[in-house]
Structure 1
């Protein structure tokens, strides 16, 4: 059964490409929002943020900045993926196995989780990914090397893949 994580804190992550918003629950990083004028980053004063969340945020910030720059992420904070279904969580875990500079097709992810006919459902799970960039849905592409879809602006997917050296058609 899926549960919606109770977000305790939302903090900004400033990158050369804009300000992301990271959302933390009591279990870990529960979401990331891309920079947007419609969804400004929410921040709290540092003294009001629990120590463990401050530590998680340092890891999130460093990893996010590295991935946006086209580098390997390094160490992650704990992820709170409790908002996902069992199927979605399996897809998200499979995406975490895709290394920087690599891409896998929706079909390859479906095969990896033992559901070879669930290609479209894999696409849906990618679109529902609450932690884009760190749970690298941008590295999942369509068959034949085509770019496929993306939950955010497609330019983000193209940019992230290009910075990682992945060529898509």
Structure 2
């Protein structure tokens, strides 16, 4: 596997840190400015630049579907099936953990655990997954549930429940 390339930039929901490995996005995390200095950019690639462009377009509401090569460098087969299923949730739509579980042949609690370990949040829209009663549960992004709510509000002009 090739050497990972990294890039950090500011977004409306905080500083985002992207990782590319082998020509695919393999990670997205939120970082503080202090942490991002430790994660300094190394050799910006065209894919990292395109990922940043698409994320900015998402926040400008000119892009609803990310079109980036993604790869999972970790996760069980079940977790990876959940991550692929989340990619099918359309912009402005929410699914429940039970919906995800039904889609992949598992149980809601396990689907929730897999959502929580999503290595590429935002691009793989785990923010579009809610509890069975519509309640917002955890989110890995900086700010936790408040950031999840912000992302859902961003998409709210087209939000539909399951």
Query: TM-score band, normalised by the shorter chain?
Result: 0.7 to 0.9
Residues 119, 38 of structure 1: alpha-carbon distance in 2 compared, 3 angstrom cutoff: farther
Quote the residue 2:101 is aligned against: 110
1:70 positional shift: 5.2
Task: List aligned pairs for 1:108-147, cutoff 5 A.
Answer: 108-115=99-106, 118-147=107-136
TM normalised by structure 2 equals 0.84
1:13 positional shift: 2.7
CA distance in 1, matches of 2:64, 2:154: 13
Quote the residue 2:147 is aligned against: 156
1:36 positional shift: 2.3
Pick from 40, 45, 49 the counterpart of residue 43 of structure 1: 40
Q: Which region of structure 1 is more displaced relative to structure 2, 120-129 or 36-45?
A: 36-45
1:8 positional shift: 1.4
Asked if the contact 2:118–2:124 (Cα under 8 Å) also holds between the matched residues in 1, the reply is yes
Listed as ranges, the gaps of 5+ residues in structure 2 are none
What is the aligned residue count?
A: 156
Residues 70, 159 of structure 1: alpha-carbon distance in 2 compared, 3 angstrom cutoff: farther
CA distance in 2, matches of 1:7, 1:161: 34
Quote the residue 1:15 is aligned against: 11
Structure 2 SS opposite 1:12: strand
Quote the residue 2:22 is aligned against: 26
Quote the residue 1:61 is aligned against: 52
Structure 2 SS opposite 1:34: strand
Aligned-residue RMSD, C-alpha: 2.3
